[in-house]
C-alpha cells in the first residue's frame, strides 16, 4: 500500500476511511492527472467502463453522490426516476467541494465531511475490479463492487 504520508491530504483522509471500514486497498499516485474516466483508464490500463466516477448531483436541491461507470453518461431522466426526485441536475463545483471536501476530477466515494446519500450504477457490477478516484486528481484506488457498495451504503440503481 502507498505510504500515507506521501499521499495528498484528501487522499490520506480517504485512506483513513477505508482502514476504518476494514477495506485493504492500495491508493495509487499517478504521475499525471486522471480527471476523466478516459484519462484514468489509460493511466491504469483498464477498461473505461471499470472506472467508478463519483459524481455529485442536486436532487430536489440536495447534494447526492452517484457512482457511475465511466462507460456511459448518466441520463438525467433515468436518474430522476431511479432515485425518486422531481428535479436532478449536476452540482456546481462549489457544491461538490463543500459536500465532499474534494475537487471535481478527484472526488472519492468516501472521505467526505459528512455522509452523502449515495447511489451506485448497476453497470459497475459487470467488473471484477473497479477503480475510483481517491480524493485527488492524481490518486486512484481499486475496489470491488461489493466493497464500494458497502463502504458508501449505496443503493443500486440504473443511471443510463
DSSP reduced 3-state for 141:
strand
Find the mean pLDDT for residues 7-22.
Answer: 95
Of the pLDDT bands very low, low, confident and very high (cuts 50, 70, 90), residue 1 is very low
Find the mean pLDDT for residues 116-142.
Answer: 97
Contacts of 3 (CB under 8 A, 6+ apart): none
C-alpha cell at 159: 443511471
Task: Dump pLDDT digits (tens) for 78-93.
Answer: 999 999 999 999 999 9
Please report the pLDDT score of residue 4 as a whole number: 57
Of the pLDDT bands very low, low, confident and very high (cuts 50, 70, 90), residue 32 is confident
Tell me which residue has cell 455529485: 56
Q: Over the chain, what is the mean pLDDT?
A: 94
Find the mean pLDDT for residues 112-136.
Answer: 97
Residue 77 has pLDDT above 90, yes or no: yes
Tell me which residue has cell 459528512: 114
- Domains belonging to the chain, first-starting first, are 4-157 (3.90.960.10)
For residue 78, count CB atoms less than 10 angstroms from its CB and return exposed for 0-12, middle for 13-18, buried for 19 or more.
Answer: middle
C-alpha cell at 54: 463519483
Please report the pLDDT score of residue 54 as a whole number: 97
Separation between Cα atoms, residue 3 and residue 93, nearest integer Å: 29
Please report the pLDDT score of residue 109 as a whole number: 98
Q: What is the pTM of this model?
A: 0.93
Amino acid at each position: 500500500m502507498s505510504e500515507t504520508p506521501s499521499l495528498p491530504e484528501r487522499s490520506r483522509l480517504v485512506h483513513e476511511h477505508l482502514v476504518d471500514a476494514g477495506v485493504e486497498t492500495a491508493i495509487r499516485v499517478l504521475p499525471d492527472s486522471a480527471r476523466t474516466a478516459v484519462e484514468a483508464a489509460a493511466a491504469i490500463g483498464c477498461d473505461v467502463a471499470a472506472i467508478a466516477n463519483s459524481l455529485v448531483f442536486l436532487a430536489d436541491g440536495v447534494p447526492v453522490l452517484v457512482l457511475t461507470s465511466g462507460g456511459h453518461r448518466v441520463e438525467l431522466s433515468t436518474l430522476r426516476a431511479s432515485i425518486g426526485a422531481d428535479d436532478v441536475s449536476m452540482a456546481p463545483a462549489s457544491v461538490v467541494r463543500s459536500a465532499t471536501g474534494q475537487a471535481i476530477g478527484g472526488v472519492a466515494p468516501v472521505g467526505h465531511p459528512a455522509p452523502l446519500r449515495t447511489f451506485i450504477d448497476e453497470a459497475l457490477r459487470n467488473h471484477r475490479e473497479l477503480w475510483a478516484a481517491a480524493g485527488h486528481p492524481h490518486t486512484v484506488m481499486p475496489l470491488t463492487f461489493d466493497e464500494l457498495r458497502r463502504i458508501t451504503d449505496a443503493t443500486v440503481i440504473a443511471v443510463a
